[in-house]
Chains A and B, each alone.
Chain A
Amino acid sequence: MTDAPALSIVIPSHNRSARLLRTLDAIGRQQDVPLQTVEVVVVADGCVDDTVAAVRACDAPFALRTVELPGLGPSPARNRGAEAARAPLLLFLDDDVEPVPGWLAAHVQAHERMAGGFVLGAYPPFPEGQGEFRVHLRRWWRTHFSQLEEPGHRFTFRDLLTGNLSASRDLWHSLGGLDESLPRAHEDWELGVRIIAGNVPLSYAPDAFAWHHEYETADLQGMLRRATEEGRSDVRMGAKHPAIKEQLPIWRARRRGGWKYRLARRMFRSPDTEPLRRRAAGLAAGFGGWSSGPLFVRAFGFAQFVHYMHGAIEELRTLEQWKAFATRAPRTPRNSLLIDLAEGIEQAEQRLDHVRPEEARLVLRGSQVGLLPFEAGAEPWAGRHLRPRLTGRVAQPFLKALDENGLLQGTQMQERLQVPASARRHVGETGYHAAAAEAVQQWRKAGL
């Protein structure tokens, strides 16, 4: 193909040819975007299976190329893939992520809506496989994507995942791609830190949907190995970006003074932690074998922490180094704002958009409404965050403040509404039981 493509899809892969072919097949079934304008770059990183041959033999309706690497890890693989890509729009997809119809068009449309930013697509686990470990992973993924989907979500560096991500090639290269000193874990978060710090727009496109076949590629041992890599990466990331240190488990463990602190201190002092890691992994695997619910979650969390600290210790080496790493960073917002909502919602939004404060206090005349809090590594507050916050997290105090100031009108000016105290208590609740309890109270109060 001689024409320059409009869209390049970069797929790093490591010895998963069967799964990769299914992903390629799913790309071939995309509609609404002409596939002859699409190129796919498969980065075969350290593949000893038939990946390269299988991709060459693949009869795809799009241009398909391979880049071979000797096993450098996912972040160098994505960088080399992005360098080889020729289209102005880059799309990163993992080899175990299978798009559904409409996925490609949704990415393209999201960039038409918001130029010059990163678009995160959804890729929750495909429901396959049983057991506590699978449920635990699904919980993590689902929580992650449902948070992104909340109206007015405030993005943080941890929202950035590279399994289903798109951006313009210029933006990607101007940011310098992924940091290859974090080859195997949290290179996505590190990019997220730079995106947030650079005020680069981020958006989430739930309709850019793909199924993550993690049941084929993630097992308990693999996740614990990954935890070790995360520990290693977090130390490097914290050194590079001290401002977000406090968001890292390695920092928080140092500060809490709880069991994590005591355990980590012991691990620093006794260099051979292999038996401890093995026992922790065995415990988690044991609880994973039956419906142990929260017991598994705790055992797995313990094993993850032990492995994470092992990776961090390999980087930090000594307890003194850890203490030096985890000294408290000055935790004050650069700019803070006081907003009186009585001046009007539009005005408040404009001020937020103008100032982009790291923290804002909301009041309504004399009444407190709530705080838009400071959080390291999160994007500064903007106008689009305000209304969802007022109707969500702070709906209860906001209703109270409107009530107190006589600002809760009906459809006519002279109508004064009052929120019954019994209803106000239930504002912001979720779930069936809260709803049922409120209905029972309503009937009791009416005395019918």
Chain B
Amino acid sequence: MRKERIRPEPLAAEKPARVAVLDLDVLDLPPRIEQADSHAGALALLRIAGRPCGQAVLSFAHWRHDRPVIENVTAGANAPFWEAWLRYRLGEWESDDGAAPTAPAADIVICTRDRPDDLRKCLQGLMAMPQDGQEIIVVDNASRTEETRHIVESFAGVRYLREDRPGLDIARNTGLRAARHEVVAFIDDDAAPDRLWLRRLRRNFDRPSVAAAGGLTMPMELETEAQIGFERVGGLGRGFRHVLYDQTNCDAFRAWCAGAGVNMALRRSVLDRIGWFDEALDAGTQAFAGGDADFFRRIINAGWQIAYDPEALNWHRHRRTMAELEQQIFGYEVSNFAIMTKSLVYERDAGALGALARWLRMRAPQLVTLATGRRQGLPFNPLVPQMRGALAGPRRYRAAVKALRSRD
């Protein structure tokens, strides 16, 4: 979904490609990495026997051409890769047979607006997955052209739904109502799944206490400074270790640690207990984002678990321009404060004050970066849109609620 723009002018000229994105199986490496000649470096997803287990950030300037590729690649690998490598060497690593899980069956919902090219790529990836009876539902959320419909019709068996009321959470709820199976997986229109993405998400629902699952999202391309910058400040990554989050180990306001709307699945039966996506949140509203984070927060608050499974992998095309990136950072913080406002004002939950205190404690030391000018490699200081977002969040959420009510 396209986020609403408030500052359309670009902040910096975009530089050419520097960082390649690689998908490497350490047991089956190519004899040489061709991108080493054309790029400054690479972000590599690392797999062992097909299973995603870590990442390496590689600088080709430090590449030792006299040594095997595996030595070069692992020299930049992170700790989860080494933990997995140890398990593999000790025979504790089953290869990825991709067997269908016995867990409840799933459907897939993609909410889209005017992104035909991205959507086509996404659908191509989804169609390449093993067929376990999943239905793919595209919710066309008030696109301006008919192109989305035409693309969906070119894929046999994909269901097209039109939702004229703009808003990502409105479209998500429409998709949820249309789905038939117990589990519903969501993927963004500008993302593409790994072959076993859905099976890996689904397997977490074997556990009756799991109400939702999130997966690992890697960048599809790192071709602009904005895309690299986003990845450098954390990207959409949630790590490479499987975690079960619940209220005993995770603050509800940090439930987004378990995943995001770009790569998540829900158990439909919990909708009766925790409700639907908040239609005053996320893209298409004044609150910009946060529909997923708010939903996860309510799951945690209700005592259910959210599984984070890094083997449920998909790839996301990050925003290409710095203006979009700055807008996105602003939007995240708006939604963060929108959710706190919702919780405190509309739900009377004092826990929001704790979340606010933690936010202040985290951000206060960063204020010095305003003076020192440290920007984590970005042409703007990310703290500036964050602060603006924090200040705007409460007002914007109230406006979004009002807009929703006046429309109904």
Contacts and interface: CB of A to CB of B under 8 A. Distances in A.
B90 A387 contact: yes
B228 interface: yes
B354 A448 contact: no
A429 B79 contact: yes
A331 B79 CA distance: 37
Contact of A138 (B74, B244, B248): B248
Given A430-B243, A448-B19, A424 B68 contact: no
Nearest to B246: A142
A104 interface: no
Interface in B214-247: 228, 231-235, 237-241, 243-244, 246-247
A435 interface: yes
Contact of A435 (B58, B83, B86, B237): B237
A443 to B, nearest CB: 5
Given A430-B243, A439-B55, A448-B41, A291 B83 contact: no
Given A390-B90, A431-B243, A446-B76, A291 B82 contact: no
A206 B206 CA distance: 10
Nearest to A423: B79
B349 interface: yes
A443 B231 contact: yes
Contacts of A430: 241, 243
A427 B84 CA distance: 10
B77 interface: yes
Interface in B65-88: 68, 70-71, 74-83, 85-87
Contacts of A445: 57, 76
Contacts of B276: none
Contacts of B80: 435
Given A138-B248, A146-B244, A447-B59, A420 B77 contact: yes
Interface in A391-405: 391, 395, 398-399
A218 interface: no
Contacts, number: 149
Contacts of A410: 68, 70-71, 74
B350 interface: yes
Interface stretch (A127-135, A174-182, A240-248, A276-284): A127-135
Contacts of A423: 77-79, 81-82
A100 B86 CA distance: 36
A436 B208 contact: no
Contact of B78 (A134, A390, A417, A442): A442
A447 B62 CA distance: 10
Interface in A108-166: 124-125, 127-128, 130, 134-135, 138-139, 142-143, 146, 151
Nearest to A100: B208
A266 to B, nearest CB: 33
A88 interface: no
B200 to A, nearest CB: 18
A135 to B, nearest CB: 6
Given A410-B71, A430-B241, A436-B237, A135 B248 contact: yes
Contacts of B243: 430-432
B257 interface: yes
B87 A443 contact: no
Interface in B22-41: 26-27, 40-41
A128 B301 CA distance: 10
A411 interface: yes
Contact of A128 (B208, B238, B303): B303
Contacts of B247: 135, 138-139
Contacts of B157: none
A57 interface: no
B18 interface: yes
B57 A443 contact: yes
Contacts of A428: 79, 83
B26 A411 contact: yes
B83 A427 contact: yes
B304 interface: yes
A72 interface: no
Given A209-B208, A446-B59, A448-B40, A438 B248 contact: no
A419 B75 CA distance: 7
B269 interface: no
Contacts of A440: 232-234
B70 A411 contact: yes
Residue among A100, A128, A345, A442 facing the most chain B CB atoms (10 A cut-off): A442
Q: How large is the interface on B (under 10, 10 to 19, 20 to 34, 35 or more residues)?
A: 35 or more
Residue among B87, B350, B354 facing the most chain A CB atoms (10 A cut-off): B87
B68 to A, nearest CB: 5
A418 interface: yes
Contacts of B235: 439
Nearest to A141: B248
B58 A415 contact: no
Contacts of A259: none
Contacts of B403: none
Residue among A130, A398, A432 facing the most chain B CB atoms (10 A cut-off): A432
A398 B302 CA distance: 40
Contacts of B350: 290-291
Contacts of B26: 411
B57 A446 contact: yes
A388 interface: yes
B92 interface: yes
A426 interface: yes
Contacts of A448: 18-19, 40-41, 57, 59, 228, 232
B124 interface: no
Contact of B27 (A411, A414, A438): A411
B351 interface: yes
A105 to B, nearest CB: 12
Given A291-B354, A412-B68, A424 B59 contact: no
A432 B19 contact: no
Contacts of A127: 209, 302-304
A139 B245 CA distance: 12
Interface in B369-398: none
Interface in A258-304: 290-291, 293
A438 B76 CA distance: 12
A293 B251 CA distance: 11
Nearest to B251: A293
A287 to B, nearest CB: 13
A369 to B, nearest CB: 12
Nearest to B304: A127
A291 B354 CA distance: 10
26 contacts: A125-B303, A127-B302, A127-B303, A135-B303, A142-B246, A290-B350, A293-B354, A345-B90, A415-B68, A415-B70, A415-B71, A418-B75, A420-B76, A423-B82, A427-B82, A429-B79, A432-B243, A432-B254, A435-B238, A435-B241, A436-B237, A440-B234, A443-B57, A443-B231, A443-B232, A448-B59
Interface of A: 100, 124-125, 127-128, 130, 134-135, 138-139, 142-143, 146, 151, 206-207, 209, 211, 290-291, 293, 345, 387-388, 390-391, 395, 398-399, 410-412, 414-420, 423-432, 434-436, 438-440, 442-443, 445-448
Interface of B: 18-19, 26-27, 40-41, 55-59, 61, 68, 70-71, 74-83, 85-87, 90-92, 206-209, 228, 231-235, 237-241, 243-244, 246-248, 254, 257, 301-304, 349-351, 354
Given A410-B74, A423-B78, A424-B82, 8 more contacts: A127-B303, A138-B247, A139-B247, A430-B241, A431-B257, A434-B239, A435-B238, A435-B240
Task: Give 5 nearest A-B pairs by CB, closest first.
Answer: A127-B303, A435-B239, A426-B79, A432-B257, A139-B248
